[in-house]
Amino acid sequence: MKLQCRKRRFSDARRRFSEARMYGASIHHEVAGVSTEGSRLGQSVDRTRVRGTHSVRRSHGIFWLSRKTEVLTHVYQQAARHKRHRFSSVVAIVLLTVVGCTSSATQNPDPANAVANEHQATVVSDRLGRTVSFEIPPRRIISLSPSTTELLFAIDAGDLIVGATEHCDFPAAANGLPRVGGGTLTSISREMIVSLEPDLVIAKWDSHEPLVKTMELLEIPILMMGADSIDDIFADARTLGGLTNHAKDAESLVDQMQSRLETLTACVRGIPDSERRTVFYEVWDDPLMTAGPNSFIGELLEIGGMKNIFADAKQRYPKISSEVAVARRPDVILAPSTHATRVSIDSLRQRQGWQDIPAIRDDAVFLIDGDQVSRCGPRVINALEEMIRTVYPNHYNASESR
């Protein structure tokens, strides 16, 4: 069966990269405007295959709607519910099985058709609550954040990436990828993105938001993702796994992370409350910033059995006053190793009034690998392990030897 999409804003569709978007676009409309779509969907449309064969194929058929509509409505409602749930990540994936349509198959005897039929159209609801439609599996992905790049490699889908940012340096294979700019919105070259002919761009949901409009005009599907918790990482891994035909790899990644997480949780579970150490996590030194409980770093501290001295902060990464940090007398100070000027016990001693903080008196200032702790990707478990090892060495070693 061919999904038919109506001919909309089509004047220069010849120029577009792939049929996938047009193809998928119809599904978006079915989802968003179910009630009115029935009559329109009987139309047929020219589809241009640019990448690959460059041949124009014509397909005719009727999209038989009513049952699909129910399914889609249900999914859309689900997506809308999740949209309300702010921290739930990419969830609703609909795989519309592309059922072979005999009549159109006889009209299209060319072998390229078989390839097309392997493709499936999909609707994904992203972190901004948008529904994005495209054909899966994508073959040319551009990743605009290091954590997404790491995640794609971790589920063995790294070979699909054709472009990344200058900060995407892990694993080593990512270093060879063409760069489309730095991580920030202004430094990303839109021209570079287009020239790499992606069929999916994955961007950060909060900092890359204005890219959505541009990519939609260019008819390049863009997914706004980005995890803010370990559960988000699992959800993102599963979403990407489903999209890239690496669902099994994604599941095994999630299983592996979960079992490590359980081991680490078990290792700090037995620590009595009196022995739990208060921790100040210094995200940045000037201005002084820490991680609140809503951030994934806050989550790591909590899982690691540490008492975040700023557990009362509302913001994810609040700027805080030095006075409060001193007054709350942390037992331990943690900081990422990627600061412009590295935090050290000496530099902290120089700070006015910090000499009497227990952490400084006891030399309990530790650096955590910045690339692991500052990217909410598959390696956060390493960061968690590092944190537990440095803050509770005895418990960590005890559980290791067990």
Partner 1 sequence: MRPAVVLVVSTGLLVALAIGSLCVGAVPISLHGIVSCFGALLGVSETGLGSTEHTILMQLRLPRVITACLVGASLGVAGAGFQGLFRNPLADPYVIGASSGAALGVTIAIVLGIQWSLFGLTGNAIAAVVGSVLVVAVVFGIGAVGQNNSALSLLLAGVAISSMVNAIVSLLMFWNDDKVVVILAWVMGSLADNSWNAVRTTAILFVLGLLVLGSLSRQLDAFSLGDVASRSLGLSLGRFRFAVVAGCSVTTAAAVSAAGIIGFVGLIAPHIARSLVGTRHSWLIPTSGSIGALILLSADDVARTITRPSELPVGIVTALLGCPFFLYLLKSRSVSGNATV
Q: Is 118 in the site for partner 1 (CB under 8 A)?
A: no
- Please choose, out of 91-99, 191-199, 330-338, 371-379, the segment that lies near partner 1 by the rule CB under 8 A: 191-199
Please report whether residue 186 would count as binding partner 1 according to CB under 8 A: yes
User: Long-range contacts: 167-173, Cβ < 8 Å, 24+?
Assistant: 168/143, 169/371, 170/146, 170/371, 170/379
Beta strands in 185-227 (DSSP E): 200-204, 222-225
3-state helix, strand, coil in the chain (%, to 5): 45, 15, 40
Gyration radius from the chain CA atoms:
25
207 binds partner 1 (CB under 8 A): yes
**Which of the stretches 105-113, 132-140, 211-219, 262-270 binds partner 1 when contact is defined by CB under 8 A?**
211-219
Interface with partner 1, residue 169, by CB under 8 A = no
Q: Is the peptide bond before 146 cis (omega within 30 degrees of 0)?
A: no
What distance in Å separates the CA atoms of residue 109 and residue 357, rounded to the nearest whole number? Answer: 77
DSSP state of 172: G
Q: According to the binding rule CB under 8 A, does residue 166 interact with partner 1?
A: yes
Q: Which of 92, 157, 180, 306 binds partner 1 (CB under 8 A)?
A: 180
Name, in order, each residue with C-beta under 8 angstroms of 289's C-beta and a sequence gap of 6 or more: 282, 283, 317, 318, 319, 320
Closest CA to 233 of 138, 133, 372, 131: 372
288 near partner 1 (CB under 8 A) = no
Residues 212-231 touching partner 1, rule: CB under 8 A, are 213-214, 217-218
Alpha helices in 54-165 (DSSP H): 66-84, 102-107, 112-118, 146-154
Residues 227, 235: Cα–Cα separation, whole Å: 9
Among 16, 40, 57, 351, which residue sits at the site for partner 1 (rule: CB under 8 A)? Answer: 16
- Shortest approach of partner 1 to residue 166 CB, angstroms? 7
Nearer to partner 1, 14 or 58 (CB): 14
Shortest distance, position 387 Cβ to partner 1, whole Å: 23
Q: Is 15 in the site for partner 1 (CB under 8 A)?
A: yes
Question: Would you count residue 34 as binding partner 1 (CB under 8 A)?
Answer: no
DSSP label at 94?
A: E
Per CB under 8 A, 192 contacts partner 1 = yes
Q: How far is the CB of 206 from partner 1 (least distance, A)?
A: 5
Number of residues that bind partner 1 (CB under 8 A): 37
- Tokens 């009595």, residue located: 272
| Rounded Cα–Cα distance for residues 377 and 12 (Å) | 39
Q: Closest CB to partner 1 among 166 and 362?
A: 166
CB of 30 to partner 1, least distance (A): 21
Q: Are 370 and 337 in contact (CB under 8 A)?
A: yes
User: Is 209 a binder of partner 1 (CB under 8 A)?
Assistant: yes
Of 354, 298, 304, 299, nearest to 325 by C-alpha is 354
Q: CB of 149 within 8 A of CB of 167?
A: no
Nearest distance, CB of residue 401 and partner 1, angstroms: 42
User: Residues 178, 270, 353, 393: which binds partner 1 (CB under 8 A)?
Assistant: 178
Binding of partner 1 at residue 286 (CB under 8 A)?
A: no
Asked if 156 interacts with partner 1 (CB under 8 A), we say no
In the range 304-363, which residues lie near partner 1 by CB under 8 A?
315-319
- Minimum CB separation from partner 1 for residue 155, in Å? 26
Residues making contact with partner 1 (CB under 8 A): 14-17, 50, 166, 178-182, 184-192, 194-195, 197, 206-207, 209-211, 213-214, 217-218, 315-319
